[in-house]
Amino acid sequence: MSHFSQIKTQIRDLTCLKSALSDMGTEWKPGPHPVRGYQGQTRDAEVVIQQENGYDIGFSWNGQEYALVADLQYWKQPLSVEGFLNRVNQRYAYHTVVKQTADQGFQVSEEERQADGSIRLVLQRWNG
């Protein structure tokens, strides 16, 4: 019986996901790489975060998005699962906005962290 949980996300861009994890100081390995679980079970994932307890966290493409895959009973991160995903989602959204607007000729001219944890971006584009 599998102990792996899959948590749906809205993450669809692997490059932005990797950048988000790096921003958070999270060490990760590129896949395909096995996510280690209960009694030696594994699942392949495109991004794997190894934990010291031998049970990993991964992000695996399910055909629509990169779902978080882990045996949640062995979650050993400083943040809860929800807190971790909230932080990943914030950094992912940041990188997605910057990437998509850069493709349209914009660049970040100002970035300010708000008291509530949100990030205010000012983008500009020069027309020549």
Of all residues in the chain, the percent with pLDDT exceeding 90 is 85
Between strands 66-70 and 57-61, the pairing is antiparallel
Does the structure show a pLDDT above 60 at 1?
Answer: no
| pLDDT above 70: percentage of residues in the chain | 98
Per-residue pLDDT band at 31 (split at 50, 70, 90)? confident
Q: What is the arithmetic mean of pLDDT over 92-112?
A: 93
- pLDDT at 39 exceeding the cut of 90: no
Residue 47, pLDDT above cutoff 70: yes
pLDDT at 64 over 80: yes
> End-to-end CA distance of the chain, in Å?
62
What was the pLDDT predicted at 2? 61
Place of tokens 């019986």: 1
Answer for the pair 18, 70: CB distance below 8 angstroms, yes or no. Answer: no
Evaluate if residue 128 carries a pLDDT over 70: no
Q: What is the pTM of this model?
A: 0.88
Confidence (pLDDT) at 117: 83
Tokens 């809860």 -> residue: 80
**Average pLDDT across the chain, whole number:** 93
